[in-house]
Amino acid sequence: MTKLADGRELIYFDSDESAVRDSADLRPLEPTASLSEIRRDPATGDRVTVAAHRQGRTYHPPADECPLCPSADGRLSEIPADAYDVAVFENRFPSLAPGAPAPAGDGDPLHVIAAGAGRCEVVCFTADHGASFADLTPAKARLVLDAWTDRTAELSALPGVEQVYAFENRGAEIGVTLAHPHGQIYAFPFTTPRTAKMIAAAAEHRRRTGGNLFEDLLAAERRDPVRVVLAGEHWTAFVPFAARWPYEVHLYPNRRVADLTGLNEAERAEFPEVYLELLRRFDRLFTEPGDNTSVAPTPYIAAWHQAPTLHGEELALHLELFTIRRTVGKLKFLAGVESGMDAFVNDVSPEAAAQRLREVAS
């Protein structure tokens, strides 16, 4: 671990343990300041983070000014080294940050407000600006998994952190503002709304059946594999029965664990091949069978769901991968019933999506 010029932490993960990454950050940076606050919606109980200081964050810089490329030829970036395998650093424009100041509340129980305390990290998957996660070798993908696991363990141990969320947004259509292949990790000081719903559903399933919701769900999909996309010895990928997005795949380890730190070596070893195959299939979704030329890289979100540090005993680690593209040249925009009422309408049947994802196998 090293420090950037403004005091933020930077951690390198290298395949070669003898690699030396000791270049200093020579930029004249002022210490970062987070003004985030977390407000509770009195109508739903959901937490909303207000981070007005993020309006000035870097937005679609040209490739030769990318802040995630290695520093080289006098151009200084967020990565002081002239090369790296995987790099993780504290976000310069964080939604949540350690030591965020406690806002002054008015004492009204309808206006509950707290400091935006937590941590936001950027995970650079490769130094190659023009690559994507799907271009990584299995060894490099395993290194990213190791980085996610390391950060999950470290961030979960921070005071006040309740949930660690690792994810990747890819594509301008998703809203990505930096084209370099990267993801993020949020350490939340609360349990996120979607996870809270899962916890409630798992508790109700346990009450009704005596079983674990996620174990039973995975077993059901494997018994009747009409929606199974890819099945390995240790991982299973399937389109969920009630998929919200046109092409949505959930990837589960066959053995239930709470978070990334619970995976064993066999599960870690198989993950890269399975995940890379899924990503490559996503990039072939909108091509004709046998046509290896992609219309355009498929925009997607890849989201790791992990149990929170409190009240998450029933949850199962899994990754949810989905795209907002529904067909060639058409995106699925959230309509009024979806944005306004959180009631999704899917234009593609889950069974048809699974069949298409099997058709584009390598």
Residue given tokens 């023009």 in the structure block: 130
Q: How far apart are CA 185 and CA 152, in angstroms?
A: 9
Strand residues in 324-361 grouped as ranges (E): 325-327, 330-331
305 in helix, strand or coil? strand
182 a catalytic residue: yes
Q: How far apart are CA 102 and CA 36, in angstroms?
A: 9
Residue pair 8/92 in contact by the 8 Å Cβ criterion: yes
Alpha carbons within 13 angstroms on the beta-carbon side of residue 255 total 10
- Give the strands of the sheet with 228-231, arranged side by side: 2-3, 9-13, 86-90, 119-124, 182-188, 163-170, 300-305, 318-323, 247-253, 235-238, 228-231
Catalytic: which of 180, 182, 234, 318? 182
Backbone angles phi, psi at 149, to 5 degrees: -65, -45
Alpha carbon of residue 164 to chain centroid: 10
From the CA atom positions of the chain, what is the Rg in Å?
Answer: 21
Residues involved in catalysis: 182
